[in-house]
Amino acid sequence: MKALSLRKLSKTYKTGVQALKGIDLDVDQGDFFALLGPNGAGKTTAIGIVSSLVTKTSGTVSVFGHDIDTDLEEAKACLGLVPQEINFNQFEKVSTILVNQAGFYGIPRRLAKERVERWLVKLQLWDKRDAVSRTLSGGMKRRLMIARALVHEPRLLILDEPTAGVDIEVRRSMWEFLRQINEEGTTIILTTHYLEEAESLCRNIAIIDEGRIIEHDRMSTVLRKLHSEVFVLNPRHPVASLPELPGYSFTMADDGSLEVEVTKLQNLNDIFAALSARGIEIVSMRNKANRLEELFLRLVEGRDAATGAAKPAASA
Amino acid sequence: MSDATHVAADSAASAAGDRRWVGFRTIVIREFSRIVRIWGQTLVPPAITATLYFLIFGSLIGRRIGDMGGFTYTQYIAPGLIMMSVITNSYGNVVSSFFGAKFGRHIEELLVSPLPNWLIVLGYVAGGVLRGLLVGLVVTLIALFFTRLHVEHPLVVVSAVLLASLVFALGGFINAVFAKNFDQISFIPTFILTPLTYLGGVFYSIRMLPDWAQTASHANPILYMVNAFRHGFLGVSDVNVWLAFGIMLAAVVALFALSVWLMEKGTGTRE
C-alpha cells in the first residue's frame, strides 16, 4: 500500500489557471520524498488537495489506501500538515494550540497533554509552553507548526517549505529531527526552496513544473542524470594564463579562481595532473552550484528551450 | 458480510464516533475559553447596555408609561431585553470567531482535521449558543435588580431561548462564511439585526401600532422569538406561540443545512 497515491489529479481555479494537469504520483510508506518545482508550478496546490484545503477538479487521491472521495475522515486522520504560512491562532498559548489540535484528531485531553509535553521537549519549545504564540521567534513558530502537525502522530507528514526564513542552525537541527522521525517510521513529503535540504534528506524526488511531473525517481538516479558539473578551483598563487588541457575548458573568475566543467566521462585526476605539471597548486575546490539546483535549472531550461518559452530565472 | 468484517466495521465506526465527540468537545471548550479570555468584549458590554436599558426605559421612562398588558413596563420589556442580548451575542460570537479563524487562517487546523463539516458547524454554533445563554443569564440577573420576574411556562422559556440562540448562531456562521473583511461582519448586525430587533416588539406590543405596521411586523422573525419568550415569562404574546416555535424550528433546520452545504462546497473556506 502506498502512503500517497495521486492519479490524473487536475485543478483548474475559477480564474481559469490550470494549476495541475493530470499528475500521477506515488509515495512509498516510510519514504522521505521531495516535491520540487518553481514558484507557481503546482506544489502547494497538490498538497492543498491532499490535505483538503483545495478542492480538486478531477482525479483521485488516496492516503494509505483511503480515497479522499469515499473515506475522507480516515484519509485525513493519517495526515499531518506543516503549511508554508503561519496559521495558528496567534492569541493562544503554545500548549493550548497543541492540545486543541490533538482534540481535533480525537485525542482526549489527558493523553493530549502528555503528547504535547513530549513533542515540545523534542522540538525545544517546552520552556515556551505557556507563552502566547505571537511572541515566539520565527524559528520557534516553525517548530511549533511541526509539533502541531505531529501531536496526533500521523503516518504521513507533509511539510511545505518548513525551513523558510529560519537560520542555518535551526534549519540543521530541524533536518536532524525530521531524519529521526522518518527513521521511526513516519513517511515524509517535503517541498523546499533549499535544494541542499532535499538532496541531503530525501531518498526519492518528483519535480513538478507548470502543473506536470517532469521527473519522478530516486534521488541518486535523478542526480546521475546530471551530465556535467562545474568546479571552482582556488590556486595558492595567482595564475598568469589559463591552463590548456584538451577536452577541458577553463575560465578565470574575477577573484582569480579557476572554473572548469567536468562531464561524467571525464575525471578530476587529469585536471590535477595537468595543473601540477604547470606548477599550479590547488588549495581548495568546490561545486559551483548545488547539484540538484543545476539539474533542476537544466530540466526547466530544457523544457523552455523545447517550447520556445522565455522564462525568468527559476527557483525550486 | 462476515463476523470479522462486522467487528472491523463496528470498531472503525466507534473510533470515528469517539473522535467526533472529542473533536466537538474541543471546539466548544476552545470557544468557551475565548469567551472567557476576552470577557471585557463578550460579557461586560451587554451587562452595561442592559443595565442602562432597565435604568432608562424601565425605571425612569417606564414609570410614566404605566402598565402594559397587565404588567409594569419593566416586567414587560425584561424578556425582550434578555432575548435581544441572547440574539446579538449568539450571532456576534460565531461571526467574529469563525471570521477571525478565517482571517488568521487557523480555520485550516479544523479543515485539515478528520472532523466532518457538520461537526465543525455544530461546534461553532454551540459556542455561539453558549455565549448567548451566558449573556442571557447575566442580563436576567440584572433584570432581577429592577423587577420581579415571574416564569409562567419554564419549558417555553428554555425552548424559545435555545431555538432563538441556535437560529442566530447559525446566521452568524453563514455571515462569517461569506465575509471577506471586517466590514462585512458588522454590516448585517448593524443594518439588519439591530433594526429588526428594535422593531421586533422588545419595547412595545405591536397591538399599539396601526394595522399596516402590525401586518408588516409579522414579516419580522425576531417578533416571533421575543413573543414566544415573553409568553414563557408572562403568559402574553402578540403572536401564535406554536407558529413562533414552528418558524424557529424551520429556521434552525434550514440554516444548519445551508451552513453544512456551504462548508461542503468550500465557500469562503477552500479554494
Q: What is the DSSP string of chain B?
A: --HHHHHHHHHHHHHHHHHHHHHHHHHHHHHHHHHHHTHHHHTHHHHHHHHHHIIIIIIIIHHHH--BTTB-HHHHHHHHHHHHHHHHHHHHHHHHHHHHHHHTSTHHHHHSSS--HHHHHHHHHHHHHHHHHHHHHHHHHHHHHHS----S-HHHHHHHHHHHHHHHHHHHHHHHHH--SHHHHHHHIIIIIHHHHHTTTSSS-GGGS-HHHHHHHTT-HHHHHHHHHHHHHHS--SS-HHHHHHHHHHHHHHHHHHHHHHHHHTTTT--
pLDDT reading at A229 higher than 90? no
Give the dihedral sign, CA B120/B123/B128/B129: positive
- How many residues make up chain B in this entry? 271
Query: Which residue did the predictor score with more confidence, A193 or B24?
Result: B24
In chain A, whose CA is at the least distance from the CA of B17? A106
pLDDT reading at A34 higher than 80? yes
pLDDT reading at B238 higher than 60? yes
Q: How far is A14 from chain B (nearest CA, A)?
A: 9
Show Cβ contacts of residue A151 under 8 Å, excluding neighbours closer than 6 positions.
A98, A101, A102, A105, A107, A112, A115, A116, A119
pLDDT reading at A130 higher than 60? yes
pLDDT reading at B163 higher than 50? yes
In the 8-state DSSP scheme, what is residue A154? -
Is the CB of residue A106 less than 8 Å from the CB of residue B18?
A: yes
* Predicted local confidence at residue A303, as pLDDT: 64
Whether B127 and chain A come into contact, CB under 8 Å, resolves to no
Q: What is the pTM of this model?
A: 0.85
pLDDT reading at B4 higher than 90? no
Q: How far apart are CA B153 and CA B161, in angstroms?
A: 13
In chain B, whose CA is at the least distance from the CA of A101? B109
- The answer to whether residue B148 is domain-embedded is yes
Sheet of A58-63, strand order? A18-27, A4-12, A58-63, A66-67
* Predicted local confidence at residue B58, as pLDDT: 81
| Range in A134-143, A163-172, B162-171 with the lowest mean pLDDT | A163-172
pLDDT reading at A308 higher than 60? no
User: Which residues, numbered 47 to 76 in chain A, qualify as contacts with chain B under a Cβ-Cβ cut-off of 8 Å?
Assistant: 48, 51-55, 72-74, 76
* Predicted local confidence at residue A311, as pLDDT: 44
pLDDT reading at A159 higher than 80? yes
Whether B155 and chain A come into contact, CB under 8 Å, resolves to no
Whether B23 and chain A come into contact, CB under 8 Å, resolves to yes
Instruction: Judge: B112–A90 Cβ closer than 8 Å, yes or no.
Output: no
In the 8-state DSSP scheme, what is residue B90? H
Option in A55, A104, A148 nearest B110 (CB): A104
Domain that holds residue B55: 28-265
Question: Which domains does chain A carry?
Answer: 4-223 (3.40.50.300), 227-316 (3.30.70.1560)
Pairing of strands A250-252, A282-287: unpaired
Instruction: Judge: B22–A88 Cβ closer than 8 Å, yes or no.
Output: no
Show Cβ contacts of residue A273 under 8 Å, excluding neighbours closer than 6 positions.
none
Q: Which of A104, A148, A156 to mutate to test the interface with B (most CBs of B within 10 A)?
A: A104
- The answer to whether residue B260 is domain-embedded is yes
Q: How far is A158 from chain B (nearest CA, A)?
A: 12
Whether B12 and chain A come into contact, CB under 8 Å, resolves to yes
Taking CB atoms and an 8 Å cutoff, what residues of chain A touch B110? 104
* Predicted local confidence at residue A56, as pLDDT: 95
Over chain B, what is the mean pLDDT?
92
Q: How far is A199 from chain B (nearest CA, A)?
A: 28
- The answer to whether residue B158 is domain-embedded is yes
The radius of gyration computed from the CA coordinates of chain B, to the nearest angstrom, equals: 21
Q: Which of B11, B20, B22 to mutate to test the interface with A (most CBs of A within 10 A)?
A: B22
* Predicted local confidence at residue A291, as pLDDT: 67
- The answer to whether residue B217 is domain-embedded is yes
Query: Which residue did the predictor score with more confidence, B76 or A199?
Result: B76
- The answer to whether residue B192 is domain-embedded is yes
Instruction: Judge: B115–A104 Cβ closer than 8 Å, yes or no.
Output: yes
- The answer to whether residue B136 is domain-embedded is yes
Option in A13, A51, A100 nearest B26 (CB): A100
Is the CB of residue B94 less than 8 Å from the CB of residue B124?
A: yes
- The answer to whether residue B21 is domain-embedded is no
Number of domains in chain B: 1
Cell of A30: 516510510
In the 8-state DSSP scheme, what is residue A244? -
Cell of A110: 489527558
pLDDT bracket for residue B78 (50, 70, 90): very high
Query: Which residue did the predictor score with more confidence, B27 or A236?
Result: B27
Over chain A, what is the mean pLDDT?
87
% of chain A with per-residue pLDDT over 70 = 92
Taking CB atoms and an 8 Å cutoff, what residues of chain B touch A134? none
- The answer to whether residue B10 is domain-embedded is no
- The one-letter amino acid code at A199 reads E
- The one-letter amino acid code at A113 reads K
Taking CB atoms and an 8 Å cutoff, what residues of chain A touch B109? 87-88, 100-101, 104, 148
